[in-house]
Amino acid sequence: GQQVMQIPQYQHVQEGEDFTTYCNSSTTLSNIQWYKQRPGGHPVFLIQLVKSGEVKKQKRLTFQFGEAKKNSSLHITATQTTDVGTYFCAGRRRDDKIIFGKGTRLHILP
Amino acid sequence: KAGVTQTPRYLIKTRGQQVTLSCSPISGHRSVSWYQQTPGQGLQFLFEYFSETQRNKGNFPGRFSGRQFSNSRSEMNVSTLELGDSALYLCASSLGRGMNSPLHFGNGTRLTVT
């Protein structure tokens, strides 16, 4: 079963508002990656986090990996209509198996 | 550089049949992994191949199998299809194995089992 909880499942925000999605794993992860999937498209790689407590920024996107390497977050500042899509986290467990969050579907209201 | 190519894009099969899906990775990528995506379960890892060897396997029954050829192209086979196998099947290629490098996904094969 799913071992990475991702919340929220859906998020509607007004354009210009901030957005955050969270992933929580039941086990320690070796690393975590984030992907974005547009409606009808395939997942596209955004970032990889490896170190405990790591924070990375990409323009309006901020990614964090928790100190215990069990949780991660993606924060988008001042959302734009181009941010629409589903954001997934993917983690590699110690046994090398890859586990995904179910994703957060982001809707932007103009 | 060409992206990951999956064929066919759509398939309709009946229960009990078998199906083979194909994935051509990005040139130079030696790792190919397969995933099942459904609205209820999201993305689930099926297996990973690297240098023609299965390196890792998810929690799917033995009806799901795969292989990788010397040119890194991969195929996935599902035998004795069940209604619950209806899903989008995605493959991804990467330079290294085990999610050490970014996964590059294909557009997927949408399988419908009736």
| Span A31-52, average pLDDT | 95
The pair of three-digit structure tokens given for residue B36, joined into one six-digit string: 């099942």
Q: Which residues of B touch A (CB under 8 A)?
A: 33, 35, 41-45, 48, 55-56, 58, 90, 92, 98-108
Which chain B residues have a beta carbon less than 8 Å from that of A35?
A: 103
- Distance, in Å, from the CA atom of B67 to the CA atom of B73, rounded to the nearest integer, reads 9
**What's the pLDDT tens digit per position in B76-114?**
999 999 999 999 999 999 998 878 889 999 999 999 999
| Span A62-82, average pLDDT | 97
Task: Kindly determine whether residue A42 and residue B102, on different chains, have CB atoms separated by under 8 Å.
Answer: no
Closest alpha carbon to A30 in A56, A54, A11, A9 = A54
Task: Kindly determine whether residue A98 and residue B33, on different chains, have CB atoms separated by under 8 Å.
Answer: yes
Give the model's pLDDT for residue B64. 98
Task: Kindly determine whether residue A43 and residue B56, on different chains, have CB atoms separated by under 8 Å.
Answer: no
Task: Kindly determine whether residue B107 and residue A45, on different chains, have CB atoms separated by under 8 Å.
Answer: no
Look at the block and give the residue holding tokens 């309006």.
A60
CA dihedral defined by B34, A55, A85, B102, rounded to 10 degrees?
-30
Which chain A residues have a beta carbon less than 8 Å from that of B106?
A: 42
Task: Kindly determine whether residue A98 and residue B55, on different chains, have CB atoms separated by under 8 Å.
Answer: no
CB pairs under 8 A between A and B: 58
Interface test with A, best of B38, B103, B109 (most A CBs within 10 A): B103
Q: What DSSP letter does each residue of B41-68 carry, written as one string?
A: TEEEEEEEEETTEEEEE-S--TTEEEEE
| Span A27-41, average pLDDT | 94
Strands B74-78 and B87-94: unpaired
Give the model's pLDDT for residue A68. 95
The CA-based diameter of chain B, rounded to the nearest angstrom, is 38
The pair of three-digit structure tokens given for residue B45, joined into one six-digit string: 């890892």
Give the mean pLDDT of chain A.
94
Q: Which residues of A55-85 are buried (b: 16+ CB within 10 A; e: fewer)?
A: eeeeeebbbbbbeebbbbbbebeebeeebeb
Backbone angles phi, psi at B106, to 5 degrees: -85, 180
Which chain B residues have a beta carbon less than 8 Å from that of A29?
A: none
Give the model's pLDDT for residue A95. 81
Predicted confidence (pLDDT) at residue A90 exceeds the cutoff of 80: yes
Give the model's pLDDT for residue A98. 86
Which chain A residues have a beta carbon less than 8 Å from that of B99?
A: 31, 33, 90, 92, 98
